Structure 1
Amino acid sequence: MTVAANVLDQAEGRHHYGASQDIQAAETRAAALLSTGYVPVGCEAFLTVGQAVACARSRADRILSRRLIQVDALAQALLARGHLDGREVHALLAGQQSGGGSDGDSQ
């Protein structure tokens, strides 16, 4: 989620302190995962945390780009209501058409 939020910030031209903290948190988590030998879905083995974050950011961008209808519906609902619980999110997404493929980026 952190990386996805940053991708959206970048795409919409928002470069603020919150995104910087998100990136730092993602890099810390990536370092911890990589130290165990974990390789994210759709990525090859890397040498640096920066490469892992870049791979995850690219994947998040692909996922969000293919699901713009769902992202927009969630954004509109959040703007209208201020918050959504899990059931509301699931109900909202169940009513939307998926623009996704089946290349392993379904999450």
Structure 2
Amino acid sequence: MTHLTTHILDANSGRPATAVEVILAQVDATGSTIIATGVTDDDGRLALGPDLLEPGTYALTFDTGTYFARLGTETFYPSATVTFTVDASGRHYHVPLLLSPFAYSTYRGS
């Protein structure tokens, strides 16, 4: 299993958010560097990035605007970015996104 996974649930429909593009970037004081990109599967899940992320600050950017446009649903957020820190523990990181057209939330999953 890769070091980082995500899962997107569309709270508006109660279904997984499929075919959502996700970008993983490493963030520092000078900007960000894209590490990996991917698209959620039929269950709204995606594993991305290298086998191990170096300690530091990272951001996952979810292309929510394209997802909702495909559904014909107006949305306030064209994208949602979740910034988080990775420590030296080597633990798996799961960063889920609970999504609706006018709100989103996240948490540190397991």
Global fold match (TM > 0.5): no
Higher strand share: 2
- Pick the TM interval, shorter chain: under 0.3
| Bigger helix share | 1
- Provide TM-score, normalisation by structure 1: 0.27
Q: Which has the higher contact order (CA 8 A, sep 6+)?
A: 2
Larger Rg: 1
